[in-house]
Amino acid sequence: MIIQNKEKGNKKYYEEIMYISSNYYIFKKRPKTKVHSLLKVFIFYTLFFLIFSIVFLFIPNMYIISVICFTCFLIYGYLFIETNYKLKEFLKHNNSLIKINESGIENTEEKQVTTKLYWEAIEYVIINKYSICILPKNFAYFAIFINITAKKQVLEALTKYNKLDLLIDNRDKYKLKAHH
């Protein structure tokens, strides 16, 4: 099965895969983890450390904690800027081609790189809000990401190759809860 991965210019998709990539170890241990916007996480921590550095500045004998919080503020500010830059660069990427067959899943980016994971090397296939993440068992391999628009084809392929046991469906984590 061949899938045209429609990721070009998809900001929400890239934000999601950046969060998963930066929290890779968490998803290996707890694949049912909800994905957040990495940019929003950095903004939250940046503001958190800025507020604490200012608050501790006015408390006697807490100057060292204020300096530590301000240093963390600077670090998270830098990480926010770097992540924003990376996101802009990712948005320039072309769409990739996903091939799913009896041996595994392959991602080919036009004139760049090809990544292949054999079925035996795949730990999870995680369905999130904007992406499907193919997470390898071994950290030596790269994860493969597929746009959520290909969900139906991915589910068909997992069924066809008897690999539904790899599936972790997190879509219910993103549904709005009705208030009674």
**Do 111 and 76 have their domain in common?**
no
- What confidence score (pLDDT) does residue 73 get? 83
**Do 35 and 110 have their domain in common?**
no
* Banded model confidence at residue 91, pLDDT cuts 50, 70, 90: low
Q: 3-class secondary structure for 136-162? A: ECCCCCCCEEEEHHHHHHHHHHHHHCC
Q: 3-class secondary structure for 31-85? A: CCCCCCCHHHHHHHHHHHHHHHHHHHHCCCCCHHHHHHHHHHHHHHHHHHHHHHH
Asked whether residue 177 is assigned to any structural domain, the reply reads no
- What confidence score (pLDDT) does residue 180 get? 47
CATH number, domain at 105? 2.30.29.30
The predicted-structure confidence for 136-159, as pLDDT tens digits, reads as follows 988 778 888 888 988 999 999 999
The domain of 67 spans: 8-93
Asked whether residue 119 is assigned to any structural domain, the reply reads yes
The predicted-structure confidence for 24-66, as pLDDT tens digits, reads as follows 888 888 888 888 777 777 788 888 888 877 887 777 787 788 8
Tell me the whole-structure pTM to 2 decimals.
Answer: 0.74
Report which residue type is found at 108: T
pLDDT above 90 (res 102): yes
User: How many domains does the chain contain in total?
Assistant: 2
**Do 86 and 102 have their domain in common?**
no
Domain boundary among 62, 93, 124: 93
**Do 70 and 108 have their domain in common?**
no
**Do 89 and 148 have their domain in common?**
no
